């Protein structure tokens, strides 16, 4: 069975890379490897500074999707990313690991590969879980991004630490 590299892991990789940006090509390769998203393909290629720059551009575009003021804007921005980074879906069994879908040509540079994974993964995340399942942390002073993978779809904080700090702040404000 082939796991879908375009699923939640791709969205979480985007969150990881915007929250703590990779500063070198080697670091980008390590982060992709840690995420498990197409790590076999990243491992097989030399990640370059051009790849790092391409991923930074894609992440800037992705943040526009995150910060979109409404659903229509979010869809328009997401569709622009899909048009830029993906191609027609097709079945492949390139490594003998089972038939699966690709939304990119084979042999693309790592920067394009990551941009394709992030844009397709985010589109699938939003279409499958809900258009509001991506946002900025609600805690005062925190601007981090989150991808809501919760069952109920009510995540509003980037981490339990921010949620707890905000709950304590609200409690203290109510008590005084």
DSSP string for residues in 82-123: HHHH----EEE-TTSS--EEESS-TT--HHHHHHHHHHHHHH
Q: How confident is the model at residue 33 (pLDDT cuts 50, 70, 90)?
A: confident
Q: How confident is the model at residue 38 (pLDDT cuts 50, 70, 90)?
A: low
pLDDT digits (tens, 9 = 90+) for 44-95: 778 999 999 999 999 999 999 999 999 999 999 999 999 999 988 888 887 6
Q: How confident is the model at residue 175 (pLDDT cuts 50, 70, 90)?
A: confident
Coil, helix or strand at residue 170:
helix
pLDDT at res. 13: 94
| Whole-Å CA distances, 121 to 6, 11, 85, 116, 143 | 4, 6, 12, 8, 22
Q: Which fold has domain 8-130?
A: Jann2411-like fold (1.10.3300)
At residue 132, does pLDDT exceed 90? yes
Q: What 8-state DSSP symbol labels residue 70?
A: S
Sign of torsion, CA 146 6 69 72? negative
At residue 1, does pLDDT exceed 70? no
Q: How confident is the model at residue 35 (pLDDT cuts 50, 70, 90)?
A: confident
pLDDT digits (tens, 9 = 90+) for 99-112: 878 888 778 899 99
At residue 2, does pLDDT exceed 50? no
């Amino acid at each position: 069975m082939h796991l879908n590299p375009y699923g939640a892991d791709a969205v979480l990789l985007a969150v990881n890379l915007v929250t703590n940006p990779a500063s070198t090509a080697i670091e980008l390769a390590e982060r992709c490897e840690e995420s498990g998203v197409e790590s076999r393909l990243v491992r097989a290629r030399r990640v370059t500074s051009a790849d790092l720059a391409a991923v930074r551009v894609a992440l800037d575009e992705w943040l526009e999707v995150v910060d979109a003021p409404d659903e229509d804007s979010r869809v328009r921005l997401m569709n622009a990313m899909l048009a830029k980074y993906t191609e027609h879906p097709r079945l492949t069994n390139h490594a003998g690991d089972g038939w699966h879908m690709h939304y990119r040509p084979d042999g693309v540079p790592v920067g394009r590969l990551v941009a394709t994974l992030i844009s397709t993964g985010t589109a699938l995340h939003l279409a499958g879980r809900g258009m509001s399942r991506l946002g900025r942390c609600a805690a005062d002073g925190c601007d981090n991004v989150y991808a809501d993978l919760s069952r109920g779809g009510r995540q509003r904080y980037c981490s339990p630490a921010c949620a707890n700090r905000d709950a304590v702040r609200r409690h203290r404000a109510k008590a005084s």
